[in-house]
């Protein structure tokens, strides 16, 4: 596999749930989709420690290997077993953790257009970031190409793309006010 650093510059292919030309770190935090029809894209943010960018702690969190001595916050979250299908780092680098064919654990208790348990039918993309800090151009670029790719492979996604805060409004605020939805929608027209 070619490991691509930095933003995507083309629409990557997805073969058997695996996005080609991006980094893949296999986590054990996933399950089998009960309903295999992928029909939603959920956009999130995460940063570890909060609002600190550039380390590999997100990756280590999803791989259950967070070094708890490095930051007090890590102690609070060390026993959570979570994941997303993709994370887009500040420099646009895309990392995949779970096959699109499997269920990542990103949405939690959630509701989209009357359907509960969004993990069952969604793809989760984490942007390395925080609610009130602008995302990078490189992230918007990678998100555009990744979204176009996912839509090609899973056409039922269509315009069913939303933020975590929209499917779990009492618990979650991500991707936050900093995420420019208009810019994103224009980029995938």
Binding residues among 8-67 for Zn ion as defined by CB under 5 A:
44
Number of residues engaging Zn ion in binding (CB under 5 A): 3
Nearer to Zn ion, 4 or 107 (CB): 107
Whole-number minimum distance, CB 138 to Zn ion, in Å? Answer: 20
Whole-number minimum distance, CB 108 to Zn ion, in Å? Answer: 8
Interface with Zn ion (CB under 5 A), residue from 85, 123, 174, 176: 174
- Looking from the CA of 41 toward its CB, the CA atoms found within 13 Å total 26
Sign, CA dihedral 100-85-93-177, equals: positive
Interface with Zn ion (CB under 5 A), residue from 85, 89, 144, 164: 164
Whole-number minimum distance, CB 114 to Zn ion, in Å? Answer: 20
Whole-number minimum distance, CB 81 to Zn ion, in Å? Answer: 15
Catalytic residues: 126
Nearer to Zn ion, 120 or 174 (CB): 174
Closest CA to 177 of 126, 110, 124, 129: 129
Going residue by residue from 121 to 160, which x/- string records binding to Zn ion, judged by CB under 5 A? ----------------------------------------
The Cα 111–Cα 166 span in angstroms is: 8
Nearer to Zn ion, 89 or 164 (CB): 164
The contact set with Zn ion (CB under 5 A) reads 44, 164, 174
């Amino acid at each position: 596999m070619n490991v691509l650093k930095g933003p995507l510059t083309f629409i990557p292919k997805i073969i058997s749930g695996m996005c080609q030309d991006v980094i893949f770190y296999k986590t054990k935090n996933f399950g089998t989709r009960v309903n295999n029809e992928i029909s939603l894209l959920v956009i999130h943010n995460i940063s570890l420690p909060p609002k600190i960018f550039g380390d590999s702690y997100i990756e280590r969190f999803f791989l259950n290997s967070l070094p708890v001595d490095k930051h007090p916050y890590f102690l609070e979250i060390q026993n959570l077993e979570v994941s997303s299908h993709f994370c887009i780092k500040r420099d646009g680098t895309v990392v995949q953790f779970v096959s699109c064919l499997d269920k990542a654990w990103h949405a939690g208790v959630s509701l989209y257009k009357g359907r509960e348990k969004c993990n069952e039918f969604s793809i989760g993309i984490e942007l390395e970031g925080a609610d009130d800090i602008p995302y990078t151009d490189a992230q918007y670029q990678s998100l555009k190409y990744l979204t176009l790719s996912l839509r090609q492979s899973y056409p039922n996604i269509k315009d069913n793309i939303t933020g975590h805060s929209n499917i779990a409004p009492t618990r979650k605020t991500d991707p936050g006010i900093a995420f420019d939805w208009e810019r994103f929608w224009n980029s995938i027209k």
